[in-house]
Amino acid sequence: RLTGPTLADALLAGTVTMAEGADVLARLLRELHAIPPRISQDPADRILHLDLHPENVMLAPRGAVVIDWTTAAEGPPALDRAVSSLILAQIAVDPEFTAGANVQALLATFLERLADDGGVPADALARATALRAVNPGLSDREKALLDEAAALVTALTD
């Protein structure tokens, strides 16, 4: 059993700064992508979460723990980085989310932290957008934000 706030709750409460949150997300992806695949024979493939964002990170007493592995797969790490970036961008561009400007700052810092790991290439972002577009867990409103969110990720990586 895990106790502690989610990273999202800590960011909103101000107990974790945007820079610290970006560091946590980037570090977790880096650690995850160090794990070789179990099934794939492609040596470049790694374990992917494909839904890593602040609400899926618990800040437990022992440290940050990734939760909600329902979308986990194997594949290129760039895809996982792209999905996480796209999720943050969707929140940043959502007019119904009042902290969107803060999330955009988190996203910008997160993208900076990903640069040394290969960043978010355009082909990975396109694939991530296509995956999110068919995600049955997303509402039509959330899916309608995908193009704007992808454009934000592109603008912040250029």
pLDDT tens digits, 16-63 = 999 999 999 999 999 999 999 999 999 999 999 999 999 999 999 999
* DSSP code at position 76: -
Q: Would you state the pLDDT for residue 43?
A: 93
Is domain 7-157 classified as CATH 3.90.1200?
yes
Domain map (residue ranges) of the chain: 7-157
Residue 62 identity (one-letter amino acid): R
Q: Is 90 exposed, middle or buried (0-12, 13-18, 19+ CB in 10 A)?
A: buried
Q: Under DSSP, is residue 59 helix (H, G, I), strand (E, B) or coil?
A: strand
The answer, as to whether pTM is greater than 0.85, is yes
Residue bearing tokens 């760039």: 78
Q: How confident is the model at residue 65 (pLDDT cuts 50, 70, 90)?
A: very high
Taking the alpha carbons of 7, 151, 113, 45 in that order, is the dihedral positive or negative?
positive
Q: How far apart are CA 134 and CA 122, in angstroms?
A: 19
Residue 158 identity (one-letter amino acid): D
Q: Note the pLDDT tens digit of each residue in 80-130.
A: 999 999 999 999 999 999 888 899 999 999 999 999 999 999 999 999 999
Q: Which residues pair with 57 in a beta bridge?
A: 66
Q: Would you state the pLDDT for residue 98?
A: 87
Please provide residue 83's backbone torsions phi and psi, each rounded to the nearest 5 degrees. Answer: -65, -45
